């Protein structure tokens, strides 16, 4: 049987495209070995959200280098298929346990720092899923983790399957005015993970927009909204 070890990390993180996700999901339903490897990693996204969204203190986010290394370790996780079958579960479980241990350690460290810095009060945090506002690929998507601090809001944004080659900007909107949270570009696959900041806090804005600044052939730049989310 062909296994999907190389895709399990990306599947757990939700980083696969729709077709690949369906393929892996169907395989996990019929392959006990890959299902066991998946179960080792299944709880990781929650720990990542806890560590990534909470941040290291109320004023500063978790260092980007730590976030990138941890996320990259999951996304690039590769479990080589051993020659002798009896070693497979052992290797799969070992890799999963190591990754889980790394995430748990960072999550506990993050919570401990926040608890101490905030006098036992956790940092304000919330998550958003974006929907389409304008022209965008059918499989385009975005989600964000937002954390309120004394200086404003830290925005951690994941986007997938956006058109490449253009600049994107995140806007926080309130009736009558808007504040930018920054700009970014996507990779060759149309994906990106970025950390942005804005001076506005929750309660001062009620919507977030993702704006594409499309570079036209005549040299002009055409901005238009593509994805957005409302704060509850």
pLDDT tens per residue, range 59-103: 444 555 555 555 555 555 544 444 444 434 333 334 444 455 555
| Residue closest to 205 by CA, chosen among 165, 174, 171 | 174
Strands of 124-129's sheet in order across? 124-129, 141-149, 152-160, 192-198
Residue 181 structure tokens: 């949270």
Domains in the chain and their CATH numbers? 5-117 (no CATH), 124-230 (2.60.40.200)
**Mean pLDDT in residue range 159-180:** 90
pLDDT band, very low/low/confident/very high, at 200 (cuts 50, 70, 90): confident
Q: What is the CA radius of gyration of the chain?
A: 20
pLDDT the model gives residue 87: 38
Q: Please list the residues that pair with 164 across neighbouring strands.
A: none
**Mean pLDDT in residue range 46-52:** 52
Q: How many Cα neighbours within 13 Å face the side chain of 93? A: 8
| Residue closest to 20 by CA, chosen among 100, 115, 139, 169 | 139
pLDDT band, very low/low/confident/very high, at 218 (cuts 50, 70, 90): confident
Tell me the pTM: 0.50
Contacting residues for 79 by C-beta, under 8 A, at least 6 apart? 5, 6, 8, 37, 91, 92, 95
| Residue closest to 36 by CA, chosen among 86, 104, 102, 88 | 88
pLDDT score of 28 more than 70: yes
pLDDT the model gives residue 45: 57
């Amino acid at each position: 049987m062909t296994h999907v070890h190389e895709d399990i990390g990306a599947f757990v993180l939700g980083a696969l495209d729709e077709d690949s996700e369906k393929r892996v999901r169907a395989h996990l339903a019929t392959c006990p070995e890959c299902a066991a490897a998946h179960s080792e990693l299944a709880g990781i996204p929650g720990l990542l959200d806890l560590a990534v969204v909470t941040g290291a203190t109320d004023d500063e986010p978790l260092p980007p280098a730590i976030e990138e290394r941890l996320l990259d370790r999951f996304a690039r996780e590769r479990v080589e298929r051993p020659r002798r079958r009896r070693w497979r579960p052992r290797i799969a479980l070992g890799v999963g346990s190591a990754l889980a241990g790394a995430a748990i350690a960072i999550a506990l460290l993050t919570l401990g720092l926040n608890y101490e810095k905030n006098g036992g009060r956790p940092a304000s945090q919330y998550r958003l899923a974006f929907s389409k506002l304008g022209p965008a690929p059918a499989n385009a998507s975005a989600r964000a983790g937002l954390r309120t601090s004394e200086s404003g809001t830290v925005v951690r944004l994941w986007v997938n399957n956006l058109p490449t080659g253009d600049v994107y900007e995140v806007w926080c909107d309130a009736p009558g005015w808007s504040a930018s949270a920054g700009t970014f570009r996507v990779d060759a696959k149309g994906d990106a993970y970025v950390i942005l900041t804005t001076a506005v806090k929750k309660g001062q804005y009620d919507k977030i927009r993702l704006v594409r600044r499309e570079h036209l052939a005549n040299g002009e730049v055409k901005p238009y909204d593509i994805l957005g989310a409302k704060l509850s």
